[in-house]
Structure 1
Amino acid sequence: MKFLYADWLLTCNNEFTIIQNGAIAFEETILDIGTIDDFRNKYANEDIEYLGKNSVIMPGLINTHVHLEFSANKTTLQYGNFVKWLFSVIEHREEVIEKATKELIDSELKKMIANGTTTIGAISSYGFDLDSCVQSALNVVYFTEILGSKPDMIDTLFVDFQEKLKSAISQSSKKFLPAIAIHSPYSTHPFLIREVLKIAKESNMPVSAHFQESKAENDWLNYSHGEFESFFKNMLDQKTSLTKPNDFLDQFKNIDNLSFTHCVEANKKELQQIKELGATITHCPNSNRLLNNTLLNISYLNDIPLAMGTDGLSSNNTLNMFEEIKNAFFMHTNLDTNQLATKLLTAATQGGAKALGLNTGILSKGFDADIISFNLPDKCNNKDDLATAIILHTTQTKRTYIKGTDELNK
C-alpha cells in the first residue's frame, strides 16, 4: 500500500471537494482518503510521504477523444476553414499516416503520461495505432471507427470494420478496452451506422461520434447545401444528405457510455436529444479554433455532462491536456473564472470517465488509483482559487500513477 499527502488534494467529485493537507492510500485502487492528521492517527506505523511545498494531488487527466494516426502532422495540413482542412487531409492522408511510425506514436503516448494524462479514448480509423495503444502504460478505450457513405462500398467497409474490431477485441485487458466510433452523420452511410450500433449494444461497448462540428456539416445535414455541396457532388456523386441530425441521434438509444464530439453547431432540439440519450459532449477547443469553427457554448448544455479531448495532431499542435484546458479557460470569457476552472477540471477527469465507462476520474475509495501530483510555483491562499491556479501554472506532473504504478518514476 502506498501513502501520499500534499498541501492540496482535489477529489474532482460532484461537489468538487478539496482537502487541505490531504492524504491518500492506494494500491491498484484507492483505499482511503482524508486529512494528514486523520491518516497519522489511523496509520500510525506507516510511512506517509509528503510531496513537498505547494504540492497538489488530483485524479489523472482523461483525453476522451484523440486521433493518434495523424501524429506526424506539423505543418502539412491547412487550417482556417473546415472544408479546406478536410481536402488537405484527403490530399495528404497517406503521406501523414506513413510518417506516423510506431516509434512516433509511442513517443506521443509517453509525453501524454508526463503531461498528466492517465486515460485516453483513442479513435482509430485504420488500426495502425493498435500495437502502440496495447503496449502503452495508459488506460486506453480503443474506438474502432466506421467511415464511408458510398453505397457500392458498404459491404467492403463493413467487413473491414469487423476485422479491425476483432483485432481490437483480441487485445482486451484491464487497461485496454475495445469500443466503437462512428465518424459522423455526413460521412457514414445509415446502413453502416445501424449495423455497428447493433454490435455496440450487443457487446455493451462505449460509442463515440463526431457531431455538428462545423457550419458546413450543419448546412449539409439540414439543407443539402453550403460548402459541402460541391464536395459531395464531385467526390461522391451525392446531391442530398443521407440523414438529418435528429434522425442520426435517434439511433443511439440504449447505449450506456455514449459521447458526441464537438457539437458546436448543435441546436436546442439536438442538445435536448443528447441529454435524453444520457450522452456526454466532448469539447476539443483547440481543434475548433484551428479549423475556424464555432466555440462550444458550454452555458447552453443544460446539465449535459462535459468531457475534454485534444482531437489529433491533424487539428492541434499538442496532445497535452493541461494545455487544452488552459486554452479553453481563456476562450470561454463569458463565465466566472473560478467556476469555469472547476468545470474544466471536472470535465477532464470524471467527465471523461463517464463518457468512457471507467471507474476512474475521482479520488474516492474504490476508484482506480489513477493519480497525478505536481507542485505549484507559490502558495495558494484560498482553495476557491486552486482550480484556476492549477490551470494557469501546470503543464507537467512529477508523478503519474496509473492503476497504482508511478509510470514516470518506475
Structure 2
Amino acid sequence: MKIISASWIITCDENSTIIKDGAIVYDKKIIDVGTIEFIKEKYPDVDIFQLEENSIVMPGLINSHVHLEFSSNTTTLKYGNFISWLNSVIGSRDELIEKATTKLISQKLSRMKKTGTTSIGAISSYSFDLEACKKSPINTVFFTEVIGSKADMADTLFADFKARLNSAVLEKDESFIPAVAIHSPYSVHPFLIRESLKLASETNLSVSSHFLESPEEFEWLHKDQGSFLDFFKNFLGQSQSVTRPMEFLNQFKNIENLSFTHCVEASNNDLHKIKELGATINHCVTSNRFLNNTKLDLDRLDEYSIPFSIGTDGLSSNNSLSMFDELRNLLMTHTNRNIIDFSKVLLKAATKNGSDALGLNKGELVANKDADLICISLPDRVKDENDLCMNIILHTKFVDKTIIGGKNV
C-alpha cells in the first residue's frame, strides 16, 4: 500500500470532483481518495509521499485511437485533402512501414508515456506494431484491423485477419488486450464485417471502426459519386460502394465496448443509431484538420447524449502523439466552447471516456479503479480552482511521474 499527496487531485469521476490538498491510497488498484487530513487519520501507519508545491495527481491519459505502423512519417505524406492523402499513403506505404521498426515505435511509445499517456487503443493493420506494444508499460488495447472490399478476396483476407488476431490473443495479459477493428464502411466487404463482428461478439472483444471521416466518403457511400469513384475504379475496379452507412451501422449490434472514429459527416440518423448502439465517438481533431475535413459537432453529440473520447490518430495525419498537444488543439479548435468549462469536459474525455470506449477499468481516481496515475507540476499557484483544468492543458508538456498498475514506470 502506498500514499501519494498533492496540491490538487483531479478525479475525472462522474462529477468531475477536484480535491484541494488531497491524497490517494493505492496498490495495483486505487484504495481510497480524500483530503490529506482524512487520509492521514484513516491510514496513520503508512508513509506519505508528498509531491512539491503546485502539484497535481490525475488519471493517466487514454489515447483511444492511435495508429503506430506509420510512425516514420514526417514530411512524406500529402495533407490538405483526404483523397490526396490517401493516394500518398498507398504510394508510400511500403517505404514508411519498412522504416517503422520495433525500435522506432518503442521510442514513440516511450515519448507518449512521458507526455502522460498510460493506455492506448492501437489500430493495427499489419501487426507490425505488436512487439513494441507488448514491450511497453503502456496498457494497450490492440485492435487487429480487417480491411478489403473485393468479394473474390474475402476468404483470403478473413483468414489473414484471423491469423493476426490469434497472434494477438496469444499475447494477452492484464496490460495487452486483443480487440477487433473494422477499417471503414467504404473499405470492408459486408461478409468480412459480419464474420469479424461475429468473432468479436463470441469472444467479448472491444470493437472500433472509422466512420464518415470526409466529404469524399459521404459522397461515395450515399451516391457512388465524387473523388472516391475514380479511386475505387483505379485501384479495385469498383464503381459502387459495398455498403451504405446505415447498413454498416446495423451490423454492430451486441458489441459491449464499441467506438466509432471521426464521424464528422454523420447524419442525425447515424448519430441516433450510434447512440442506440451505446458507442463512443473517438475525436481526432488534429487529424481532421490536417486532411481538411470538418470538425466534429460536439453540440450534436450533446443533443444525442453520445460520449466522446480523444485520440491522436497516427503520425500519418498528425505531427504529435502527445495527448496534451491534442488537448490544446481541441481547446483552440472548438471556439464556440467556453475555454474554462470545456477544459473540464476535455480532461474527462481523455480519461474516463477513453476507458469506457476501450472497455477498461481506468480513467478515474476512485476506489477499485486501476492505479494508473500521472503527476504534474504547474509553473505557479492556481488562484481559482475553476481555472485548474484549463491550466493543466495549457501548461503541461511532460509529466513528472507516471504510475501504471501501481508501479512507477
User: TM-score, with normalisation over the residues of structure 1?
Assistant: 0.98
In structure 1, the residue matched to 2:48 is: 48
Cα deviation 1:154-182 (Å, max 9, x = unaligned)? 11101100100000000000000000000
Q: SS at the partner of 1:85?
A: helix
Deviation at 1:46, TM superposition (A): 2.1
Distance in 2, matches of 1:371 and 1:234, equals: 49
Cα deviation 1:6-29 (Å, max 9, x = unaligned)? 111011011100001110011100
What letter matches 2:160 in structure 1? D
Cα deviation 1:313-372 (Å, max 9, x = unaligned)? 000001000100110111000011122111111110001100000000000000000000
Q: SS at the partner of 1:377?
A: coil
Distance in 2, matches of 1:247 and 1:154, equals: 18
In structure 2, the residue matched to 1:106 is: 106
What letter matches 1:129 in structure 2? D
In structure 2, the residue matched to 1:77 is: 77
In structure 2, the residue matched to 1:317 is: 319
CA contact (8 A) 2:60 2:363 kept: yes
CA contact (8 A) 2:2 2:46 kept: no
Distance in 2, matches of 1:250 and 1:388, equals: 39
What letter matches 1:85 in structure 2? W
In structure 1, the residue matched to 2:401 is: 399
Q: SS at the partner of 2:380?
A: coil
Cα deviation 1:211-263 (Å, max 9, x = unaligned)? 01000001100011011111111211111111111110011011110000000
Distance in 1, matches of 2:331 and 2:123, equals: 25
Distance in 2, matches of 1:354 and 1:49, equals: 30
User: TM-score, with normalisation over the residues of structure 2?
Assistant: 0.99
Distance in 2, matches of 1:300 and 1:390, equals: 27
Q: SS at the partner of 2:85?
A: helix
What pairs up with 1:146-185 in 2 under 5 angstroms? 146-185=146-185
What pairs up with 1:284-363 in 2 under 5 angstroms? 284-301=284-301, 302-363=304-365
Q: SS at the partner of 1:25?
A: strand
Q: SS at the partner of 2:367?
A: coil
Distance in 2, matches of 1:25 and 1:32, equals: 5
Distance in 2, matches of 1:189 and 1:339, equals: 42
Q: SS at the partner of 2:128?
A: coil
What is the aligned residue count? 407
Q: SS at the partner of 1:329?
A: helix
List runs of 5+ in structure 2 lacking aligned partners: none
Deviation at 1:45, TM superposition (A): 2.5
Deviation at 1:96, TM superposition (A): 0.3
In structure 2, the residue matched to 1:213 is: 213
Distance in 2, matches of 1:210 and 1:285, equals: 14
Confirm or deny that 1:387 pairs with 2:392: no
What letter matches 2:333 in structure 1? M
What letter matches 1:310 in structure 2? T
Distance in 1, matches of 2:181 and 2:400, equals: 33
What pairs up with 1:113-132 in 2 under 5 angstroms? 113-132=113-132
Distance in 1, matches of 2:332 and 2:387, equals: 16
Deviates more, 1:179-188 or 1:44-53: 44-53
Deviation at 1:208, TM superposition (A): 0.2
Deviation at 1:396, TM superposition (A): 0.9
Cα deviation 1:121-152 (Å, max 9, x = unaligned)? 01000010111111110111000000011112
List runs of 5+ in structure 1 lacking aligned partners: none
In structure 2, the residue matched to 1:237 is: 237
What letter matches 1:323 in structure 2? D
Distance in 2, matches of 1:113 and 1:196, equals: 31
Distance in 1, matches of 2:323 and 2:18, equals: 21
Confirm or deny that 1:270 pairs with 2:270: yes
Distance in 1, matches of 2:324 and 2:396, equals: 7
Confirm or deny that 1:68 pairs with 2:68: yes
In structure 1, the residue matched to 2:224 is: 224
CA contact (8 A) 2:4 2:48 kept: yes
Distance in 2, matches of 1:400 and 1:182, equals: 32
